[in-house]
Structure 1
Amino acid sequence: MENNKVKVKIYGQEYVIAGEKTKEEIMQVAAHVDMKMQEVTQAAKTAGVVPSNIAVLSAINITSEYFQVLEEMEELKRMNMQLEKDAQHYVQLWDESKKNYMDYKEETQAIVLQKDELMSQLKQKDEDIQKLMQAAENAKAQAQTSMDEVVKEIEGKCKELENSFFDLQMENLQLKKELEKYKNNNG
């Protein structure tokens, strides 16, 4: 990288500064140093003190700012690490929610298959009942009662699964909102 040489004016004196930074960056640094020296001079005059070494006092002020910026950077790094941990946690929760959703979906499909099978059995039993209707009127009444209870139980299970599925969807929506919020905050 080539060295850039820039003529700058700091506290009334001209200097030639060479460095690998761009001319604009070198000029910006020189302007900042000049501004700090002017501030120190003005503060000293306001306080009624004649400063003996403006450069040293300016260097102290600039160094103090530098350390403050370093502290702020460290705090931002800590905050960033925490945000990354939080994001990982929410991604993990999201993955768990997706897995739970898939499990509930599989369970629901199994129950639907079970219901279809039971409905098929019910149809077969109805056909059997029609054949035996004259000979087994009491048996028909018992089978009908038994089947109604099974259907009610299955419907109750379906309603429970629908409620659980709805709760899971609401939780998924909340997690999506939180994830978008974190993405937007970290974007």
Structure 2
Amino acid sequence: MSDEQKNRISVDIYGQNYVIVGAESTHHLRLVASLVDEKMREISEKNPTLDISKLAVLTAVNAVHDYIKLKEQYEELQKQLKQIKD
């Protein structure tokens, strides 16, 4: 990533300001921040007594869970596609 053009933006996630740096477009970086903020607020509504650290960890756990499920679905679809081609 060091040779790529990096974008740097300031975003607000759950009331905190963060600077995000990445090779992706600023639109993509803002979308990621927005989805994290949305998930944190969703979890906070259901668990209003959580402190910010626990809220952040639960948000990360939810994101990784979603990622794993999508990865499993993708791998299953790849397997099915391979069977169709063979």
Report the TM-score when normalising by structure 2. 0.89
Which amino acid counterpart does residue 70 of structure 1 have in structure 2?
K
Written as runs of structure 1 = structure 2, the 5 A alignment for 1:102-181 is: none
| Residue number in structure 1 paired with 2:27 | 24
How far did residue 28 of structure 1 move? Answer: 0.7
Which structure shows the bigger proportion of residues in strand conformation? 2
Identity fraction in percent: 35
| Residue number in structure 2 paired with 1:9 | 12
Give the greater-gyration-radius structure (CA). Answer: 1
Distance in 1, matches of 2:45 and 2:67, equals 21
* Two-structure CA RMSD over aligned residues (Å): 0.9
| Residue number in structure 2 paired with 1:51 | 50
Distance in 1, matches of 2:16 and 2:25, equals 21
Distance in 2, matches of 1:43 and 1:83, equals 44
| Residue number in structure 2 paired with 1:72 | 73
Task: Write out per-residue CA displacement over residues 60-88 of structure 1, whole angstroms, 9 at most, x where no aligned residue.
Answer: 00110010111011111111101111xxx
| Residue number in structure 2 paired with 1:37 | 40
Distance in 1, matches of 2:59 and 2:28, equals 19
SS at match of 2:12: strand
Which amino acid counterpart does residue 74 of structure 2 have in structure 1?
M
Task: Write out per-residue CA displacement over residues 129-179 of structure 1, whole angstroms, 9 at most, x where no aligned residue.
Answer: xxxxxxxxxxxxxxxxxxxxxxxxxxxxxxxxxxxxxxxxxxxxxxxxxxx
Which structure shows the bigger proportion of residues in helix conformation? 1
Kindly tell me the number of residue pairs found equivalent between the two proteins. Answer: 81
Report the TM-score when normalising by structure 1. 0.42
| Residue number in structure 1 paired with 2:62 | 61
